[in-house]
Structure formats: structure tokens, C-alpha cells
A and B are shown apart, each in its own frame.
Chain A
């Protein structure tokens, strides 16, 4: 199974400041079709997860441009350019290159 490792596991950020979350996979997520199957989700308190970023760097419909994804191979990063109060929750990366799909442990973001 592909192991997904996120750091940090928790993050406390002042509104307006940037934040960054790292996700590393135990093997490359690059498929032979040229796509890299790495996704980012945010689970706000009391809600199901919601898709933020697909295939490393593509913002999903309606996701503010404060969110950006980058990386390649085994190293990926989610960046928030300016954290807002509404951004609190659990951020998780996921790989869908191969079954079983696997998630990172999650990063809990809170506001200072």
C-alpha cells in the first residue's frame, strides 16, 4: 500500500497569515497517462470532507484562489496564501494512483 505522510499534524495560524501543509507519498504518484493522482480535501467541523485540489494543482470549482497545490512525484504541498477563520478544519491528502486508495493522517488547522 502507498503510505501518505502529512506534516505538520496541527497548525495554529493568525488570520491573514500564510499556511503550508506537506504530504509525502511512499512511491511516486505519477501515472503512465501523465497525470499525478494526488488530491486535497478539507473537512470543516461537523461536515463531510470537501474537495479542494485535484491532480496536485487544480483548484476545484468554487475553491478560492487563496488555496494552491504544488509538487510532483512523491512530495506535495498545499498552501493557503492568507488564512481566514472559515479555513479551520482537517486537511487531508489522498492518493488514487492505486488501490487501496490511502489518505494522510490529516492536518488540523486552527485559528490563533
Chain B
């Protein structure tokens, strides 16, 4: 079945970087964009950006430009998202989701930024 499996929870200090992975299976990896969405505690969903797994081209929400990098590894059907210069308010669950229609979603990766 179509599935996105994300890497495990992370705890980072302010100013550090975190890299979250999203491994796809059950479909043609290069056929669909992958999006990243985050949800801070008690908040709604926030779109961060998307990547074309075939070309590696990515588009980021303006808020995250310069601080987020999305990459792809077609040899392992895995998408990566790295967030640098972490702040306390980056504490959130980060999800990957497949276009079209944002189905399926990964199970989520909790990133906690704490000193």
C-alpha cells in the first residue's frame, strides 16, 4: 500500500539544525510531489513547502526561505527536510504528505527545541 514513513522524534537546542526523513513506498516515487506541513502544539496546520522528487526542485513558504532545505534521494525513495537555526517556536510535529490531495500523510515527527 502507499505509505510514507518518517524518522523518529528529535530534541535539539536553539540554533542547531534538524533533518527529518520521509521514506515513500507503494507507488512511483518520482510521480508525485511531496509536501511538508507542521503543527505547533495547540495550533493548526502550516504548509512549509514542497519538493519534486524527480527534479529535486523545491518551493518554500516565504516564512521558511533560507532556513529550510528539502532534498530527495531517488535511490532510497526518501525525502529529507532540514531546518536550520532552530528556535523555540519551531517545536512542532512535522508531517510529509503526498500530492495530489495530500494523501497519504506520514505519521509525523516531533521536533522539540529546548535548552
Contact = CB atoms under 8 A, between A and B. Distances in A.
A102 to B, nearest CB: 6
B108 A99 contact: no
Interface in A52-106: 54, 60, 90, 92, 94, 96, 99-106
B102 A39 contact: yes
A92 B45 contact: yes
Contacts of B76: none
Contacts of A106: 44-45
A100 B62 contact: yes
B-side binding surface: helix, strand, loop or mixed?
strand
Given A99-B59, A101-B35, A92 B95 contact: no
Nearest to B63: A100
Contacts of B103: 50-51, 60
A60 B62 CA distance: 31
Contacts of A94: 45, 47, 102
Interface of B: 35, 37, 39, 44-47, 49-50, 59, 61-62, 95, 97, 99, 101-103, 105-108
20 contacts: A39-B101, A41-B45, A43-B39, A43-B45, A49-B37, A49-B45, A49-B95, A49-B102, A50-B103, A60-B101, A92-B45, A94-B45, A96-B102, A99-B50, A99-B59, A100-B49, A101-B50, A102-B47, A104-B44, A106-B45
